Amino acid sequence: MPDGLAALPDELYDSAAAKFGQGNIAPSRWPADGELLLGNEVYRPVVPAYRDLVPTYGPWRPVWNVMGTLSELHGEDNVRLIVWFGG
């Protein structure tokens, strides 16, 4: 699969429905400590941190630098990033 995406086996969804309920078949809907054993494979939900999705390096680095400076001046609880994608 491209970009590190993985295809999950169809049996996983059936097992998840049986264990976690019909509305919770996707790993993102499983309980945080939920896991399923299929054959020799153990499947667990993975919840990435925001830093994993938008790392401190790369094109967002200037934004994180400014936010770091603002949090030093005003405190971490007083700094928020709001992003609007619109036309």
What phi and psi, each to the nearest 5 degrees, are found at residue 35?
A: -150, 150
In 1-87, the DSSP E strands lie at: 36-38, 41-43
Task: Give domain limits for the chain.
Answer: 2-43, 50-87
Read off the pLDDT band of 5 (50, 70, 90). Answer: low
Q: Is 64 in a helix, a strand, or coil?
A: helix
Q: What is the pLDDT of residues 48-85, one digit of tens each?
A: 787 778 888 888 899 999 999 999 999 999 999 998 88
By the 8 A CB rule, do 44 and 34 touch?
A: yes
Cα 25 → chain centroid: 17
Give the pTM.
0.49
The CA distance from 45 to 32, in Å, is: 7
